[in-house]
Amino acid sequence: MCGRYALGVRMAFVRRRLEEQGLQVDEAPSDDDVRETYNFAPGNFGAVYRADIYPSGHNEEQPEDDDTTSPAQNNATEKDEQTHPQLKYKIQSMKWGLVPFWTKRKPDYGSMMRTINCRSDSLAEDRGMWTSMKRRKRCVVVCQGFYEWLKKGPGGKERVPHFVKRKDGELMLFAGLWDCVSYEGEDEQLYTYTVITTSSNAYLKFLHDRMPVILEPNSEAMKIWLDPNRTTWSKELQSVLKPYEGELECYPVPKEVGKVGNNSPDFIVPKKTEPGVKVEGDGIADQNIVENEDDPRPMRESEWSEDNAPKPAAGTKRERTPEGPEEVADEGMKRPKTEPLTPSSKMASEHNLASKQQTTPVGKKMRSATHNEKPTKKVNAKKADGSQPITKFFST
């Protein structure tokens, strides 16, 4: 499946890069219309590339049977329309989580999560909710790569996020479907999309059994998929939906990506093990974060908890034992000021005074945790006459 991906680039860059790869882009949204984030989750507005065949949306129901037009009529129509000078392609801002055009009320979050992906094998038969979309509303979803969680440990309790991208670093293009809906009593049109998934290729089998359908830019397969004149589902269209045969790169990334609200460019670079951080198994830093309620993937409660909150990745801070009464007070430790000397400190004292004249030190100086030098002993010298109590000079 595909439940999270990265899109941390501006639309101006996306448009320029697609045009450099030979794709026609007649229109593109502004940067503010598309969520620019390295942690793109369902419900956000993403970048979708499609043929601009329905300028103001298309809510018409499609024919119930693909055989309403003969192959000869269909081919003739395709030849005429393929050379039509007004055919345009655009990048459009759409919400991830497809809502069919016949929906009357806004679906809840759970219902939306069921349509963020569409299985390729569910499109083979000419029935089901995807029928109208697969005939006329095919698109390409633009991103930098996607995330998948590797299950480790007993029962797969530990989940390690991995990022998958093209090895050449180019934008990744998913095969998708889109639709447009207007809820009952509302005039506003909402465009939504889904990502089509297929079986994983040999490279990603270790990670998950499914992966998004990835298309090569301006390839024959992509042209077939985006051709608006192909309104009949065919074996040729179905053959486009296969595991990716190009080179990919996959590596573990920080677990902080598991929380939807987090966003960092570090999420798409390989995870580095920091000094002082416990490392297990394949060298992945042992860090956890609090479970995110918006994460679309089912997780066990014991997997993410506040008890396993992430620890700082920087160097380990060493604790230093307080060395004086002032530091003891700063540390918030309750210690009486008249703490008696220990037997060992009495034996080490050079001046062992009588118990009646001995003054108890305010606080015991502890050994330093960062230095090996011995602590200086406090010497309780006999007070001079000038420092004696005034009552000493009066006879009793």
Residue 389 counted as domain residue: no
Residue 98 counted as domain residue: yes
Residue 362 counted as domain residue: no
Q: Locate 285 and state its tokens.
A: 């830093």
Q: Is the pLDDT of residue 313 over 60?
A: no
Categorize the per-residue pLDDT at 156 as very low, low, confident or very high, splitting at 50, 70 and 90.
Answer: confident
pLDDT tens for 171-214 read: 999 999 999 999 999 999 999 999 999 999 999 999 999 999 99
Residue 164 counted as domain residue: yes
Q: Is the pLDDT of residue 168 over 60?
A: yes
Residues of the domain holding 147: 5-308
3-state secondary structure of 236: helix
Residue 321 counted as domain residue: no
Residue 352 counted as domain residue: no
Q: Locate 48 and state its tokens.
A: 């979708």
Q: Locate 173 and state its tokens.
A: 């293009």
For position 4, what pLDDT does the model report? 96
Give the domain CATH number at 82: 3.90.1680.10
Residue 358 counted as domain residue: no
**Spatial contact of 97 and 113, defined as CB atoms under 8 Å apart:** yes
pTM above 0.75, yes or no: no
Categorize the per-residue pLDDT at 22 as very low, low, confident or very high, splitting at 50, 70 and 90.
Answer: very high
Beta strands of the chain (E only): which ranges? 5-7, 37-40, 45-51, 89-96, 117-119, 138-143, 145-152, 158-166, 172-181, 190-199, 210-212, 214-215, 248-252, 279-280, 284-285
Q: Is the pLDDT of residue 55 over 60?
A: no
Residue 336 counted as domain residue: no
pLDDT tens for 344-389 read: 444 444 444 444 444 444 445 544 333 444 555 555 555 555 556 6
Give how many domains the chain has, as a whole number: 1
Among 214, 223, 282, CA closest to 248: 214
For position 106, what pLDDT does the model report? 94
